[in-house]
Copies of this chain bind each other. A is one copy, B any other.
Amino acid sequence: MERQLTYEEALSELQGIVKKLENKEVKIDELASTVARANQLVEYCQSKLQQTEAEIQKIVKKG
């Protein structure tokens, strides 16, 4: 999974998949990989949420 993916992007992609499926825009050939991608997105978000972050980094402001 791309490390840069935000929760918003993941959810949006997931919802995009839902819409495509419901509009029957997904070919049977792509069905398994599409579902797998959806699953991956969900898992990615869950794991990201569960991930432990020690503390919040202070950012050096350029001013």
* Interface, chain A (partner B; CB < 8 A): 6-8, 11, 27-29, 31-32, 35-36, 39, 42-43, 45, 48-49, 51-52, 55-56, 59-60, 62-63
CA of A42 to CA of B7, assembled, Å? 27
Task: Indicate if the CB atoms of A7 and B35 lie closer than 8 Å.
Answer: no
A54 — nearest CB in chain B belongs to which residue?
B32
Number of copies: 6
Task: Indicate if the CB atoms of A52 and B36 lie closer than 8 Å.
Answer: no
A49 to chain B, nearest CB (A): 7
Q: Using A59-B36, A63-B42 as known contacts, say yes or no to A31 and B52 having CB atoms under 8 A apart.
A: yes
Task: Indicate if the CB atoms of B49 and A28 lie closer than 8 Å.
Answer: yes
